[in-house]
Amino acid sequence: MIAAAFTPYDDLAEWLLPHATEGDDGSHDVAHILRVFKNAMRIHAVEGGDGPVLAAAVLLHDCVSVEKNSPHRTQASRLAAEKAESILAEREEWSKPRIEAVAHAILTHSFSANIAPESLEAKILQDADRLDAIGAVGAARCFYIAGRLGSALYDPADPEAKDRPLDDKRFAIDHFQTKLFKLADGFQTETGQALARARHVRLQTLLSNFLDEI
């Protein structure tokens, strides 16, 4: 059972995983949630914070699915936060302040929402989620989403966009410059920053190898 992978919050996972994802987006599936959970627990072990609040926020941070090319993409984290509140309110043990703490973390985790996280749990969730957007996994997710949205891998006439504007809606590797390479500078915790630096180097190496091969 996949919930067991979320130990020590496997009971929480068993309850919340059925609500955790929508649709068929393989870049925001249960595997993604588990990777973010592992990232979050690694940061939490050093930085502290409320473990159950953080775990619930991780489990529900993508509970509303909005495609990357949707005009409503910037509202995804707000919609997910609202849905999470309604789910957690079903259990008496979840007080209003703790539900609000989960909702704040979910609301502020998204790059596209552009809302600064204020609590430690929110900062950890944002870091944990962004770690999954860089490094080798981040590159794989980038190419997966490009294929899902019908984009090309690169512009054969100008792969590095030396004489054209970057356009990550048309070319997958443009997304490295428009977003992925910018993420490492915005991590909220010291532990997250250290992990991000290592993954940023992997991402740079991967793109360098890709460009060499084409």
CATH code, domain with 179:
1.20.58.1910
Domain that holds residue 182: 133-214
Model confidence over 75-88: pLDDT tens digits? 788 889 999 999 99
Shortest CA distance to 106 belongs to which of 170, 185, 16, 169? 16
Q: Tell me what percent of the residues of the chain surpass a pLDDT of 90.
A: 81
Same domain, 177 and 140: yes
Same domain, 107 and 149: no
Domain count, the chain: 2
Same domain, 146 and 63: no
The CATH number covering residue 60 comes to 1.10.3210.50
Model confidence over 157-213: pLDDT tens digits? 999 999 999 999 999 999 999 999 999 999 999 999 999 999 999 999 999 999 999
Q: Distance of CA 151 to CAs 146, 168, 182, 204, Å? A: 5, 8, 21, 21
Model confidence over 12-70: pLDDT tens digits? 999 999 999 887 888 889 999 999 999 999 999 999 999 999 999 999 999 887 766 55
Mean pLDDT over all residues of the chain? 92
CA atoms within 13 A on the CB side of 177: 15
Beta-bridge mates of residue 171? 152
